[in-house]
Amino acid sequence: MSIALSTTWLSRPGVVCALGSGLAQVAQRLYAGDTSGMQASDAWIQGRTAVAGPYAGALPEWPEDLAPHQRSHNNQLLLAAALQIEPMLRQAVARHGPHRVGVVLGTSTSGINDNAPAFVTLRETGRWPHGYDYRRQALSSPAAFLAEWLGSAGPAQTISTACTSSARALMTARALLRMGFCDAVVCGGADSLCRFTLRGFASLGAISDALCNPFSAARKGITIGEAAALFLMQREAPDDNGVALLGGGASSDAWHMSSPEPGGRGARQAMQAALSEAGLQAADIGWVNLHGTGTELNDAMESLAMQAFFPDQGVPCASTKPMTGHALGAAGALEAVLAWITLSPEYADRPLPPHIWDGQADPALPALDFSGAGQAYAPGRRRVAMSNSFAFGGNNASLILGAAP
């Protein structure tokens, strides 16, 4: 197995989420199966307690030279992640020039939750309050903010395809490099907890009252989290050999606005497209970070897709959402960070992250080989991981990451 000619490299990432801040803390808690960041609160859904995954750390001060309308909780999460890798980002701008560095991010909430009180004031008084600015919640805000903060002048775009948004951002960044539009791309995503979103999921009957329980017979739905995750993607391998994005694939089965295609056809198409671009076979995959939301329909679809895609032998897999919550538009990038951790030479001696659930297998679902109890990548082989994201509207995305050979 060799690296495809189109290999692009992912830097050490910046990350904030319910697991903590920075790679070291997130990795430590990931491997420990730490769900302590998931908190029960009655602040999100009126008259109901729900478990959610907020980022509990301090957020950075807002730079005085940036536009006030760009200040939002979403963009502060982004800034917290960016500051962790700031020297690397600024070095890329200095090396390649501002016009050769792009920014591609995924989100779904942007600054909606920050603007929500203004709509209450409008309803009660008939007027917008002082300081309200619609641009805070514009989907373009995250990429526009980060490009301005960094001083880059290349392509800057925000992608919003629900829960595949930031996985698609990594694929778009890769395309910009391959087509020669950029020499480096800051890519990833951010999504903040938002009452509008949580209440919307609750109205669909999709929110669990407890920690999500993916693939269990007792599963009751999703738990939402917030996160920001950023990579610097380049053609050249970093000094520490790093982790490569070997391939990415996407599909849109358009089965239903909110329900997945039951047999997993679109999911399999995305996984196969990612494998084909990477020049790999299913047997080369050593671990899969599942979408694993804990909803009845997604888990059933994903189980069938996994069984069909890996028919001859199971592949170790896990849903990491019980530790992070479902970060929606940031989920693809966040889970790529978690896959990156498993592939980094820094953590080569660690077992795979555990699948957190109650162990009550649903007899209606195909059995999966959930990682845990010291399970690790197969010895003597290059470590390769697949990270899958599936979304409303039939949007599906699959990323394949590999350790340096």
| Residues constituting the chain | 405
* Residue position matching structure tokens 């996984």: 271
Q: Look at residue 125 and tell me whether its pLDDT is greater than 90.
A: yes
Rg (CA), the chain: 20
What mean pLDDT is predicted for residues 289-315? 91
- Over residues 1-60, the pLDDT tens digits come to 344 446 799 999 999 999 999 999 999 999 999 999 999 998 888 889 899 999 999 999
Q: Which one from 73, 291, 317, 355 is the annotated catalytic residue?
A: 291
Q: To the nearest whole number, what is the mean pLDDT of the chain?
A: 93
| H or E element at residue 22 | none
The pLDDT score that the predictor gives to residue 7 is 77
Reply yes or no on whether 326 is catalytic: yes
Which one of 17, 163, 194, 212 is the catalytic residue?
163
User: What token pair was written down for 355?
Assistant: 């699948």
pLDDT at 241 > cutoff 70: no
Going by pLDDT thresholds of 50, 70 and 90, the confidence category of residue 240 is: low
From 17, 73, 194, 326, the catalytic residue: 326
Ranking 98-107, 234-243, 277-286, 353-362 by mean pLDDT, the lowest is 234-243
pLDDT given at position 253: 81
Q: How far apart are CA 187 and CA 166, in angstroms?
A: 8
Q: Are 108 and 329 in contact (CB under 8 A)?
A: yes
Q: Please, is 293 exposed, middle or buried when counting C-beta atoms within 10 Å of its C-beta (0-12, 13-18, 19+)?
A: buried
All domains in the chain, ordered by first residue: 11-403 (3.40.47.10)
Q: How confident is the model at residue 258 (pLDDT cuts 50, 70, 90)?
A: low
Does the structure show a pLDDT above 60 at 154?
yes
Is 163 assigned a catalytic role? yes
State pLDDT tens for residues 337-394.
Answer: 999 999 999 999 999 999 999 999 999 999 999 999 889 999 888 999 999 999 877 7
pLDDT band of residue 219 (cuts 50, 70, 90) is very high
Contact partners, residue 241, CB within 8 Å, separation at least 6: 345, 404
Angular region, 149: left φ>0, alpha ψ -120 to 50, beta rest = alpha
Q: Determine whether 291 is an active site residue.
A: yes
Residue 79 has pLDDT above 90, yes or no: yes
- Left, alpha or beta for 20 (phi > 0: left; psi -120 to 50: alpha)? left
**Is the separation of the CB atoms in 323 and 185 below 8 Å?**
no
- Give 256's pLDDT tier (boundaries 50, 70, 90): low
How does residue 131 score in pLDDT terms, banded at 50, 70 and 90?
Answer: confident
160-208: per-residue pLDDT in tens?
998 999 999 999 999 999 999 999 999 999 999 999 888 988 888 889 9
- Enumerate residues 6+ apart whose C-beta is below 8 A from 267: 251, 260, 261, 301, 302, 305, 388, 390, 396, 398
Q: Which helix (H) or strand (E) is 331 found in, with range? A: helix 331-343
Mean per-residue pLDDT for 263-278? Answer: 94
Distance between CA atoms of residues 326 and 349, nearest Å? 28
pLDDT value of residue 4: 43
pLDDT in tens, 54-77: 999 999 999 989 988 899 999 999
Surface-to-core class of residue 90, CB atoms within 10 Å of its CB (0-12 exposed, 13-18 middle, 19+ buried):
middle
Percent of the chain with pLDDT over 90: 79
Quick one: how far is CA 15 from the chain centroid? Answer: 10
Reduced to 3 states (helix: H, G, I; strand: E, B; else coil), residue 134 is helix
